[in-house]
Amino acid sequence: LTPDAGRQPAGARPVELVGVVGSGTMASGIAQVFAASGHRVVLVARSLEKAGTARKRIAGSLDRAVAKGRMRAEDRDATMERITPADSQDALAEVDLVVEAIAEDLAIKQELFANLDRVCKPGAVLATTTSSLPVIACATATSRPEDVIGMHFFNPAPAMKLVEVVRTVRTGDEAHATVHAVCAKIRKHAVDCGDRAGFIVNALLFPYLNNAVKMVQEHYATPDVIDTAMKLGAGYPMGPFELLDVVGLDVSLAIEDVLHKEFRDESLAPAPLLRQLVDAGCLGRKTGRGFREYARR
Ligand code: 3HC
């Protein structure tokens, strides 16, 4: 399973300058991964303030890596210098690859892809890290669907080794080869999958997380007990409630809604308790409260 860092599949285009769009946990993590592996990164958010917050989050993550002895201080500084924050998509004109990590809202993503089509140079690969929306719907918002592809990273992006590479019916061989070559360079293991809701991991993971919430809702067991049971009994690194709080309850609900709709299976309907927590603003670690409470960082 070790990625072959030197491999350059036939037809892959060179990627040096990378654009990351978004300012949340995923966007910051993805920008960090590219910058740490030697790419120059343009990090585009809706405002310079949001881009600055994302940059600070990356600095905090790299500081922890230095403190743990996993990174040298000079490599942290060089990584940070490779990241340029921006508040306009016009800054993406020269990038070789864009990874979009904005809100899970199809209309907003389609608007972004239509604009990337206007702004980015010919040959740039336009990737989305959507968790569950159809990649083809982003592709058809552009005049170059052959260059649009899914690059689904996992949370926390710097730690999780997988990228699901989602090829639509219109994705070209060159964009596909480019993304495989890039994954090898950033030392992520790439798996190919089709353009279906949830791809591989989320299609299997979220029904399980939803069933855990149903267990709590039915007072069958508490979140603490279920988390402990799944860690000690199934060997998972985090229990389902720890993971829901990390991923975000709003993001989880959006994924479950899409899975429910696509597979037309009533057993996949999100547990009402999850929706209630989202309505109450309890979104997980990022708001200080989800299934558990957290000290705000
Ligand atoms: N940022 C950067 N690196 C991090 C990190 C973070 N937020 N959290 C942990 N890491 C790194 C650590 O630095 C450490 O690296 P090292 O081994 O080189 O020192 C490594 O990950 C292991 O971390 P720790 O020893 O501190 O902690 P754990 O052993 O508890 O591992 C974990 C942390 C890797 C996050 C582990 O708990 C885990 O695998 N959890 C499950 C995560 C998961 O399932 N994610 C998928 C969610 S679904 C998803 O993302 C899809 C999306 O569409 C919603």
Structural fold of domain 202-283:
N-(1-d-carboxylethyl)-l-norvaline Dehydrogenase; domain 2 (1.10.1040)
> Are the CB atoms for 143 and 122 separated by under 8 Å?
no
> Which residue among the candidates 39, 152, 176, 260 is catalytic per the annotation?
152
- What type of residue sits at position 225? V
Q: What is the mean pLDDT of residues 225-243?
A: 98
For a ligand 1 pocket test, name from 155, 187, 200, 202 the mutation site with the most ligand atoms within 8 angstroms of its C-beta. Answer: 155
Confidence of residue 132 (pLDDT cuts 50, 70, 90): confident
Q: What is the mean pLDDT of residues 121-140?
A: 96
Ligand 1 pocket, 238 CB below 6 A?
yes
Backbone CA torsion sign across 138, 140, 144, 148: positive
Residues carrying CATH 1.10.1040.10, the chain: 202-283
Task: State phi, psi for 132 to the nearest 5 degrees.
Answer: -155, -5
Half-sphere exposure of 185 (CA within 13 A, CB side): 20
- pLDDT tops 70 at residue 74: yes
* Residue 256 a catalytic site member: no
- Count Cβ atoms below 10 Å from residue 233 Cβ, excluding itself: 8
Contacts for 130 with CB less than 8 Å, ≥ 6 apart: 100, 104, 109, 138, 150, 152
Ligand 1, atom 38, residue with closest C-alpha = 237
> Are the CB atoms for 183 and 190 separated by under 8 Å?
yes
Q: At what angle do helices 272-279 and 201-217 cross, to 10 degrees?
A: 90
Superfamily of domain 17-193: NAD(P)-binding Rossmann-like Domain (3.40.50.720)
Residues carrying CATH 3.40.50.720, the chain: 17-193
Cα 209 to Cα 230: distance, rounded to the nearest angstrom: 11
Confidence of residue 297 (pLDDT cuts 50, 70, 90): low
> Are the CB atoms for 228 and 242 separated by under 8 Å?
no
Which tens digit of pLDDT belongs to each residue from 27-45? 999 999 999 999 999 999 9
The rounded Å distance from CA 121 to ligand 1 centre is 35
- More confident position, 64 or 105: 64
ipTM for the whole complex: 0.92
